[in-house]
Chains A and B, each alone.
Chain A
Amino acid sequence: MTDPQTPREPFVPPTAFAVPGRIEVSSRSAAVWQRATVVEIRRETPLVSTFRLKVPDWQGHLPGQHLMLRLTAEDGYVAQRHYSIASAPDGSGEIELTLDHVPGGEVSGHLHTVAHVGDTVEVRGPLSGFFAWPGDRPALLLGAGSGVVPLMSMVRHQRLAGLDVPVRLVVSARTPADLIYADEYADETTVVLTRSEGRLNAAHLAPFLGAQGQPEGGWEAYVCGSNGFAEHASRLLVEGGQPVDRIRIERFG
């Protein structure tokens, strides 16, 4: 069992993942809570709304990053959750979050049923540079339900910044009524309606994963949704030939 390697020789794991982070996150922006004012609430679907927040000291973010949002009760009780940022970085000092109304959800429930324009909440972030897309590499985006939120930030960024780099979005929703941002999709997007067409499958991805569909240098793949979707979609990508170390996953727990 004991092997003859010298104690100080580093072991390099037989890795397939080891995907580097995309960006370093500022420890200041990660650590500091800031007051944010709700400036707009927009209904997206019957169960999903977008909350636009003015954050005066927002340092900017990259598409795909998330933040932590905190609510405080009169007696000091706090509740906090992570939410993906939906808007593209646009320098406006405002950001958007798009939230499911989770049944029994303590934070999303408050925002959907109690919060109105003018209220304040607290946020810290942006957080995690791993799922971020700076707009530098071709991006193949797979999302389901509200998992499309950080991916939409990427699509919006590509449009707003006028980037030439290819972006393809495959978005899965149960029915047309469940499809978030339905009016915003253009040629880059494939919509899969699972109630009528069944689950996302290999045929949906084949146009992007074959030799013909690959951009030069291949895709950086981003998968976001429930764990069930993330498991399914990431397996489809691997089976379709997408390298494991070019797949980034954000699982909504």
Chain B
Amino acid sequence: MTFEPTRGFTGRARAADRDPRLPPGQYDAGDGWPVLSAEVTPRLAAADWTFRVDGLVAAPRTWTWDEAHALPASEYRGDIHCVTSWSKFGVRFGGVSLDTFLAAARPLPEATHVVAYAHTGYTSNLPLSDVTGGKAWIVWEYGDEPLPAEHGGPARLIVPHLYFWKSAKWVAGLRLLDRDEPGFWEQNGYHHRGDPWAEERYAGD
């Protein structure tokens, strides 16, 4: 379908000076950071938080809060994008690279996908290649502050090159699989992968 312009719509931001960091169909949320979760925010104490890697790995393993914090620190500086069309530039998350956790658990050759799951039961699926090679983190700091509970604290996954529903809040673990297994939003009509630059928003995109 070709698009007819909307009568009288000029757009607040002009296409010509559109920020190149903004994927198609997104707008700059500025200082805002909308909260988008469909569930009750859990009150999960750091002492009760654990992170587990299992499924198709040689050494399934669970880390406590203190054990995870003893791993080499890593941070993400950059942009994040939500499927509801806001993007946020120049954020900084502190935590540990997912590569560090995966290296310890040793994925088996047949592992192709992961399901990230939260302490609440939320799930999201990802190709293994989207969470390895410096592309994903488990984080507990936002800026210099502890990650707020409504944004997934005490700790969440971030996979910033994909829409943010992939970045499971209150993350509890990753299960490695030899197949793609749709998670919570993927079963509710969202795209299986969610690349913001390809506008993979909904099933069928």
**A contact residues vs B (CB 8 Å cutoff):** 1-3, 5, 7-11, 13-19, 21, 24-28, 30-33, 35, 68, 71-82, 104, 106, 109-110, 114-115, 119-122, 124, 127-131, 227, 230-231, 234-235, 237-238, 244-245, 247-251, 253
Determine chain B's interface SS by DSSP, over half rule: loop
For B189, give the chain A residue with the smallest CB separation: A25
- Does the CB pair B6–A72 fall under 8 Å? yes
B9-A71 in contact (CB<8A): yes
For the complex formed, measure the closest distance between the CB of A35 and the CB atoms of chain B, giving whole angstroms. 8
- In order of increasing CB-CB distance, the 9 nearest A-B pairs are A253-B34, A15-B121, A25-B189, A18-B121, A31-B204, A27-B204, A27-B203, A30-B202, A77-B15
Contacting pair A114 B63 (CB below 8 A): no
Contacts of A122 in B (CB 8 A): 3
List, sorted by A's number, 21 A–B pairs whose CB atoms are closer than 8 Å.
Answer: A2-B61, A7-B55, A7-B56, A19-B38, A26-B189, A31-B202, A31-B204, A33-B1, A35-B1, A71-B11, A77-B11, A81-B84, A81-B85, A82-B84, A115-B8, A120-B6, A121-B6, A247-B40, A251-B34, A251-B35, A253-B34
**What B residues does A3 contact at CB under 8 A?**
60-62
B58 interfacial by beta-carbon distance below 8 Å: yes
Q: CB distance B55 to A119 under 8 Å?
A: no
What's the minimum C-beta distance from A209 to chain B, rounded to whole angstroms?
15
Residues of B in contact with A (beta carbons under 8 Å apart): 1, 3-16, 18, 24-25, 27, 32, 34-42, 52, 54-63, 67, 82, 84-86, 108, 117-122, 150, 172-173, 175, 184-185, 187-190, 201-205
Q: How far is the CA of A79 from the CA of B67 in the complex (A)?
A: 45
Bound-state CA distance A97–B202 (Å) is 21
Are the CB atoms of A106 and B27 closer together than 8 Å? yes
Chain A residues near B202 (CB-CB < 8 A)? 25, 27, 30-31, 124, 127
**Chain B positions within 8 Å of A106 at CB level:** 11-13, 27
User: Once the chains bind, are A17 and B6 in contact (CB under 8 Å)?
Assistant: no
**Given A16-B120, A73-B6: A127 and B37 within 8 A (CB)?**
no
- Once A13-B121, A24-B189, A114-B9 are accepted as A-B contacts, the answer to whether A77 and B56 lie under 8 Å apart by CB is no
Q: Which has the most chain A C-beta neighbours within 10 Å: B11, B34, B172, B185?
A: B11
Report how far A129 CA is from B189 CA in the complex, Å.
7
Residues of A within 8 A of B35 (CB): 227, 230, 251, 253
